[in-house]
Amino acid sequence: MKEKVSFDWIKKNLFSDEKKVRQLKKGDMLFDQDQKNDRLYLVNDGKFNGYFTDQTLITYPIFEAAKNKFIGVYSYFSEDNKSYCRVVATEDASVSYYDKPLKDHSDEEWIRLAPFIISLVVNELYSRQHFARMMATEKYQDVQKLLKAEKMATLGQMAAGLAHELNNSIGVLDKGTDHLREFFIHQFQKKEDDEFRDFFMTGCEEGQKISSEDARKRRAAFEKIKGLSKQQIKRMSRIGIDPNLVQKYLRRDPDTIDRIYESWESGCNLHDMRIAARHATQVVRSVKQLGVSEHSWSDHISVNDSIEEALVILKNLTKKVKLRLELDDNQPPTSGYYGQLIQVWINIIKNGLESMLSSKTSSPLLVVRSSHNKDHIVVEVTDHGPGIPKKIMERIFEPSFTTKIGGLSFGLGLGLSIVQRIITEHDGLIEVSSSSEKTTFLVKIPLIKP
């Protein structure tokens, strides 16, 4: 009765010759590409990699082989016994080999070995195929990552360029405003101009404090004063001046009223200009942070600051909803990529905002809360939107996953996959919990004392 061919049988009968064993150190080559190889190796221990070098001298990994895998299958069975790749031990290893040339086998021997050889070859084919596919996928993902990184880098450069240009312009405006203010104060130097200067300064420092609604309410008081035109009534009610004072001025010289308003309004204009310049500076700084410092690790960052910068950038979106900010007052500093953290908040907050806005949630509310424990800084972003459906819950962190059409919008967000990557790079943790009423993203960033 013929014995059944099995791996154990092969091992026992073909690879048991103790003389035919090779010991290799890590990095040792088993055989080279194009080298003649007439042995069939079986790995007893350790690991090998096969490498193929093409005409352009670029080397690719072709296969991996570990314990109980065969090496040299192709060269051993092929006509010319030429190896198509180089095999190197990636750790200390030992192999046994079988070197009886094929042509020396008798027919009977062949028949006995054939099933084994077929299965051996198929097995090899399969595992190499599998390996190749894995390599391809990995490479594809690498390319994608690269592309995204490149996009971000371009945006970053653009942002930096923009920021530089804008900063110059804003600087000019800001300085100009200051000069104008000085000029005006100088203009009001005369004694009799004292009160105009006061109104100018009030305007400068406070702007229009009175809301349009209050101004309308205050109008009644001025309407009682005789001799004020409709326009003057409206103007005086905006300044927030005492009606009795207006009456006094009016009695002295009716022209005073218009001059008061003009002085105050000029002040307000300067005030608004300064505020606008400051806001512009802030936006520019945030955008710059986002772009340039993405890859620089800082030892002393404030997570709260990064949240606030994200909110500056998202100002136009957050306007549409009610925003509740509960930031940790005693938040300790930690280490991390500041720019990337801004990215994280932008993405998470934007996600919440958009889900509320696109579903037209009534009274949309977004809560951003930060806290800390001894190991972590914890940030929770909760939106009161429709929640994330269960069936897509698992996929939201996948790179290509989006519930929106269009994808990248002004480079402010690259989606939740980026968020997860960044958090992972910080050794942090991100969790989502969602119900039909609200969705909470919980982010934990390790506290690293500088």
Partner 1 sequence: MDNLYIVCVDDQRDVLSSLSGDLSPFEDLLMIEECESAREAWDVIESIDQSGDHLAIIITDQVMPEQSGVELLKQLIEDGRFLFTKKILLTGLATHQDTIEAINKTSLDRYIEKPWSSEELHTAIKSLLTGYLLDKGLDYEPYTKILDQQLLLNYLRKTT
Binding site for partner 1 (CB under 8 A): 207-208, 211-213, 215-216, 230-231, 265, 268-269, 272, 275-276, 316, 319-322
Eight-class DSSP state of 46: S
The whole-angstrom distance between residue 391's C-alpha and the CA centroid of its chain comes to: 24
CA distance linking residue 107 with residue 102, whole number of Å: 11
| 121 versus 162: smaller Cβ distance to partner 1 | 162
CB nearer to partner 1: give 198 or 354. Answer: 354
**Distance separating the N- and C-terminal Cα atoms of the chain:** 75
Q: What stretch of H or E contains 15?
A: none
**422 bridge partner residues:** none
Nearer to partner 1 among residue 32 and residue 272 (C-beta): 272
Residue 123 or 361: which CB sits closer to partner 1? 361
Min dist CB 325 to partner 1, Å, is 15
Q: How do beta strands 93-98 and 86-89 pair?
A: unpaired
Residue 142: other Cβ atoms inside 10 A? 10
**Closest CB to partner 1 among 106 and 316?**
316
HSE-up of 449 (CA within 13 Å, CB side)? 2
Within 10 Å of residue 189's Cβ, how many Cβ atoms?
Answer: 9
For residue 446, what is the enclosing H or E element?
strand 439-446
Smallest gap from residue 231 Cβ to partner 1 (A): 5
CB of 273 to partner 1, least distance (A): 8
Q: Which is nearer to partner 1, 117 or 276 (CB)?
A: 276
Work out how close the CB of 201 gets to partner 1 at its nearest, in angstroms, rounded to a whole number. Answer: 17
Beta bridge partners of 325: 368
Place of tokens 């595992």: 127
Q: How far is the CB of 50 from partner 1 (least distance, A)?
A: 54
Choice between 178 and 272, CB closer to partner 1? 272
Q: How far is the CB of 311 from partner 1 (least distance, A)?
A: 14
Residue number with CB closer to partner 1 (151 or 320): 320
269 and 131 Cβ atoms separated by less than 8 Å: no
Alpha carbon of 305 to those of 124, 169, 299, 310, 362: distances in Å?
A: 56, 25, 14, 9, 30
Are the C-beta atoms of 411 and 151 separated by less than 8 Å?
yes
Q: What is the nearest approach in angstroms of partner 1 to the Cβ of residue 271?
A: 8
* CA separation for the pair 399, 9 (Å, rounded): 48
Q: How far is the CB of 316 from partner 1 (least distance, A)?
A: 5
